[in-house]
Amino acid sequence: MVGINRRTGTRWRFGRTIQSTAGLLVHYPPVSAPRPPKPRHPRYPSAAERTTIADLHREEKTLQEIAVVIGRSTSTISRELRRNADPTTGRYLPATADRLAAARVARPRPRRVTQDEELHAVVVGLLAKRWSPEQVAHELRQRFPEHPARQLCTESIYQTIYDVTVEVTRPAMRRRRRRRRRRRIQGLERRGRLTGMTMIADRPADVDDRVQVGHWEGDCIMGAGNRSAIGTLVERHTRFLVLIHVPLDQPTARAIRDGICWAMADLPPHLRRSLTWDQGKEMALHRQVTAAVGTAVTSATPTHRGSEAATRTPTASCATTSPKAPTWARSLPTSSPRSPTKSTTAPVRRSTGPGRPTCSAFPSTAVRLNLP
């Protein structure tokens, strides 16, 4: 409690700008208490320890004896006396040493993107293609394997993007808002619903924990104008991604069924325990998928929390980097059922999280199986 007027306290807190008698604007900044000094890391000598070092050094004690007294190594005492001595007199003074050490802690360095023109051009070009910072960091290690100075980590690229002094930006995703008129539904809607579904709330609890390997989540990506389609399968524990080719650009129920069966045919049974998909029409033959590969299919609900968390990041990455048209169906030979296809031009980004191994993606082409 200060005992001042409320209006005065508001002015002290937020400051104010008034007009003087000369017609000039005078700004009074807010009154703020001095910030407490940042706590020093224990591995650095404190002010008390520097005072002890100065006293013992004045008594001509050896470095080993000073190290034993303050409980630090001999190399630390030697480095302290050499770096933080008074530059004018050469004597070791505690206050001067503490001030020199505090000034040496803050070492602002120019970013490497601003110093290297070639590195700047590569980073700006990849970000312009809507690559994520993780993908850019991976690509820099591939392009400059013999130049470690040009290999940036993901955090450095993020800081460069948000630094207003650096001309590196990432284009924002354009989204069009469409106003759609909601249909009036009287009673329960029965048209177009899948039959025999197992809802996500009824699946085992070990699937939600993401501890057991072999539980997958799938989704279907539609291209511009619905002229192309890609199926994605993501393993919930390892974030391993499989891309499913959809022939003829039509994600029909048979095409998705064949693609899932082809992708999981070579997997051992413990790696294809369950599959969670949304309630789209492309999963109308989910019973045949279960009968063919033995994978239990679960239907996700839009209101269930976390039902699409594993596929959101891989699906967005594939949607922004995969070619929309012409699609794979026009470029693949029809005679070779297992010809590999190139899915994306950028490495697949994985979801962040503790203990997640690096995931990769391999293309998968669907084959017409002898199913009813």
SS (H, E, C) 60-95: CCCHHHHHHHHCCCHHHHHHHHHHCCCCCCCCCCHH
Q: How far apart, in whole angstroms, are the C-alpha atoms of residue 317 and residue 138? A: 15
Is the pLDDT assigned to residue 90 strictly greater than 70? Answer: yes
What long-range pairs does 138-146 form, CB within 8 A, spacing at least 24?
138/347, 139/346, 139/347, 144/119
Domain that holds residue 96: 47-105
Q: Is residue 210 located within the same domain as residue 330?
A: yes
Q: Which two tokens stand for residue 331?
A: 């470029």
Q: How far apart, in whole angstroms, are the C-alpha atoms of residue 51 and residue 49? A: 5
Average pLDDT, integer, range 78-95? 92
Q: Is residue 151 located within the same domain as residue 257?
A: no
How far is CA 297 from each of CA 262, 290, 335, rounded to the nearest angstrom?
16, 7, 31
Q: Is residue 207 located within the same domain as residue 319?
A: yes
pTM over 0.85: no
Q: Is the link from the previous residue into 326 a cis peptide, with omega within 30 of 0?
A: yes
Residues 109, 141, 318, 357, CA torsion sign: negative
pLDDT at position 118: 93
Pick from 216-225, 247-256, 320-329, 338-347: least confident: 338-347
Q: How many domains does the chain have?
A: 3
The residue that leads in pLDDT, 221 or 177, is 221
pLDDT digits (tens, 9 = 90+) for 191-227: 566 777 888 888 877 788 888 899 999 998 888 887 8
Q: Is residue 294 located within the same domain as residue 337?
A: yes
Q: Is residue 238 located within the same domain as residue 333?
A: yes
Residue 133 is inside which H or E element, if any?
helix 133-143
Q: Which two tokens stand for residue 105?
A: 């802690």
- Dihedrals phi, psi of 277, to nearest 5 degrees: -135, 160
Within-domain flag for 323: yes
Q: Which two tokens stand for residue 273?
A: 């325990």
Q: Is residue 141 located within the same domain as residue 220?
A: no
- 361: pLDDT confidence band, cut at 50, 70 and 90? very low
Q: Is residue 100 located within the same domain as residue 120?
A: no
- 303: pLDDT confidence band, cut at 50, 70 and 90? low
Mean per-residue pLDDT over the chain, rounded: 77
Q: Which of 241, 368, 369, 236 is nearest to 298 (CA)?
A: 236
Q: How far apart, in whole angstroms, are the C-alpha atoms of residue 71 and residue 67? A: 6
Contact 241, 359 (CB under 8 A): yes
Q: Is residue 228 located within the same domain as residue 271?
A: yes
Q: Which two tokens stand for residue 102?
A: 């505090």
Average pLDDT, integer, range 39-59? 91
Q: Which two tokens stand for residue 131?
A: 């690559």
Q: Is residue 84 located within the same domain as residue 127?
A: no
- 166: pLDDT confidence band, cut at 50, 70 and 90? confident
- 371: pLDDT confidence band, cut at 50, 70 and 90? very low
Is the pLDDT assigned to residue 142 strictly greater than 90? Answer: yes
Beta strand pairing call for 241-245 and 361-365 = parallel
Q: Which two tokens stand for residue 84?
A: 């933080």
Q: What CATH number is associated with residue 209?
A: 3.30.420.10
Contact 224, 325 (CB under 8 A): yes
DSSP bridge pairs for 242: 233, 362
Within-domain flag for 22: no
pLDDT at position 337: 39
Within-domain flag for 339: yes
Is the pLDDT assigned to residue 111 strictly greater than 70? Answer: yes
Q: Is residue 285 located within the same domain as residue 305?
A: yes
Residue bearing tokens 């539609």:
222
Q: Which two tokens stand for residue 34?
A: 């001095």
DSSP at 69? H
pLDDT at position 70: 92
Residue bearing tokens 């503790």:
354
Within-domain flag for 55: yes
